[in-house]
Structure 1
Amino acid sequence: MYGPKNHGWIEAIVGPMYSGKSEELIRRVRRTKIAKQKIQVFKPKIDNRFSKMDVVSHQGEKEEAIVVENAEEILRFIENDVQVVAIDEAQFFDENIIKVINYLADNEKRVICAGLDTDFKGEPFGYMPNIMAIAEFVDKFQAICMVCGNPATRTQRLIDGKPANYYEPVVLVGAQESYEARCRKCHTVPKNNGVR
C-alpha cells in the first residue's frame, strides 16, 4: 500500500453504513502520525451527525478535521509540507473532488478518501464511484445484515420504521430517519406502486 518516497496516490475506503469506513480512515490517520508524517484531515460541512469538527466512527473513535463547504476549499487549507490528506464522507462533495484529489496525488500527496459507494437506493452515490475508478487502492468493506446476518453491502434507510421510498431525496438533512446495514436480498426500496 505504501509507495516510494515523493510519490502520490489515492486510496478509497468504501462500503455501506456500519462497515467501519471511518474507523479505518482514523486507523490510517493514526498510523501516519506514528510515522511522523504530516497529515491533514477534512470532512464536508453537511456531515454533523456526531460532531461538527471531528471525524467520528460509530465506535466513538475520533480525529479532529477541517470542515469545508466544497471540494475546492480543501486546496485553500492544504499546507505546503503536508504529506497525507484524509477526506471522510467523500460522497457528499461536488464534482470538483475528482480534480482536487488528482491534483493532490499528482503533487506527491497520499490521499485517503472514505465514503459510501452506494446510496439508500443501492445506486452509485455522488462521485464516490469516480474516486474508486481513479484510486490506486480500493478497499470495499462489508457490514453485517441486520435482518439475516449475511455480509451487508447496502444501506437501508428507514423512516418511521419502514423502508424509505425510492423517490425520497438521497440526502435528508435533519430528517428523523435511521439506517441499517442490509444484504442484497434484505435491502428493500419500494417505489410509489409498492414494487421493489
Structure 2
Amino acid sequence: MYRRYSDGMIEVITGPMFSGKSEELIKRIRILSYAEIPTLVIKPSIDNRFSNTDIISRNGNSIKSYSVSTTKEIKELFYQKKYKALVVDEVQFFDMSLIEFLDKLANQGIRIIVSGLDQDYLRRPFPIVAHLMAIADNIEKLKAVCLICKRAASCSFRTSKSDNTIEIGDTDIYEARCRECHVKDSSTK
C-alpha cells in the first residue's frame, strides 16, 4: 500500500515469551545489514540467558550486540559512530528515559526497532513497551502456542512462586498461555 516509509520511524516487535520476537528482530537486523545501513544493536546486560553479548533466538540464530544496563550507555555507544539505525532487544528491561531518546532519534531520521514483552507474568503492561507502542509507526504483535490447550497464546505464565515483577528465566519458569488458560491457572495460585 505504501511505496516508501520515512527514514526515521519506530517499530515495535512484541508478544509473549516463546513467540519468536528475537527471531524476527534478527531477521530485520540482517535486512538492515544487506542494505548497508549502519546499525547499533543493543541488549540489556540483565538478560544473560543464552549469551552475555549476542542476541540468540530459540532457532539458534544469533547476532552480535552490545550488552548495556542504562540509557546513558546506549547514548554513549550511539554517538561514537554515524549510525542510521538503532535496535534494542528486551526493551522492557530498560528505564523510561529511553523513550525520549528513541523518539528524538526517530525525529532525526534514525530507524528504531525495539523488541520486548508487552505484559508481565500477571498480564500487566510493561510501561515502557506500552508507551513505545503508542508512539510507534509500526507494531507487530506475535503469538506463541499455549502450552495447555495449543491455541494462540498472548501471555507469559510464570510457574515459579516469586512475586518479583522481573525474574530472568526460560522454560524452567515460564510458559506461553492463551488468555483463558492463563486466567484459569492464575486464579488457582
- Both proteins in one fold, TM over 0.5: yes
Q: Number of aligned pairs?
A: 184
Give matches, 1:34-45, under 5 Å: 34-45=34-45
The one-letter code of the counterpart of 2:9 is W
Please identify, of 135-144 and 68-77, the stretch whose mean Cα deviation from structure 2 is larger: 68-77
Deviations 1:47-75 (A, max 9, x none): 11000001111111111111111123211
What is residue 64 of structure 1 aligned with on the other side? 64
Shift of 1:126: 3.8
What is residue 23 of structure 2 aligned with on the other side? 23
Give matches, 1:105-184, under 5 Å: 105-159=106-160, 164=161, 168-173=163-168, 177-184=172-179
Structure 2 Cα separation of the partners of residues 26 and 175 of structure 1 = 19
Structure 2 Cα separation of the partners of residues 154 and 128 of structure 1 = 15
Structure 1 Cα separation of the partners of residues 58 and 106 of structure 2 = 29
Shift of 1:189: 2.2
Give matches, 1:83-122, under 5 Å: 83-122=84-123
Structure 2 spans left out of the alignment, 5+ residues: none
What is residue 3 of structure 1 aligned with on the other side? 5
The TM-score normalised by the length of structure 2 is 0.90
What is residue 83 of structure 2 aligned with on the other side? 82
The one-letter code of the counterpart of 1:96 is S
Structure 2 Cα separation of the partners of residues 10 and 174 of structure 1 = 28
CA RMSD of aligned residues (A): 2.0
Structure 2 Cα separation of the partners of residues 116 and 97 of structure 1 = 16
Please list every run of at least 4 consecutive aligned residues from structure 1 whose deviation after the TM superposition is greater than 3 angstroms: 173-177
Cα gap change, 1:84 to 1:175, in 2 (>3 Å) = closer
Structure 1 Cα separation of the partners of residues 170 and 87 of structure 2 = 28
The one-letter code of the counterpart of 1:97 is L
Aligned identity (percent) is: 38
- Counterpart of 1:105 in 2: which secondary structure? helix
The one-letter code of the counterpart of 2:71 is A
Structure 1 spans left out of the alignment, 5+ residues: none
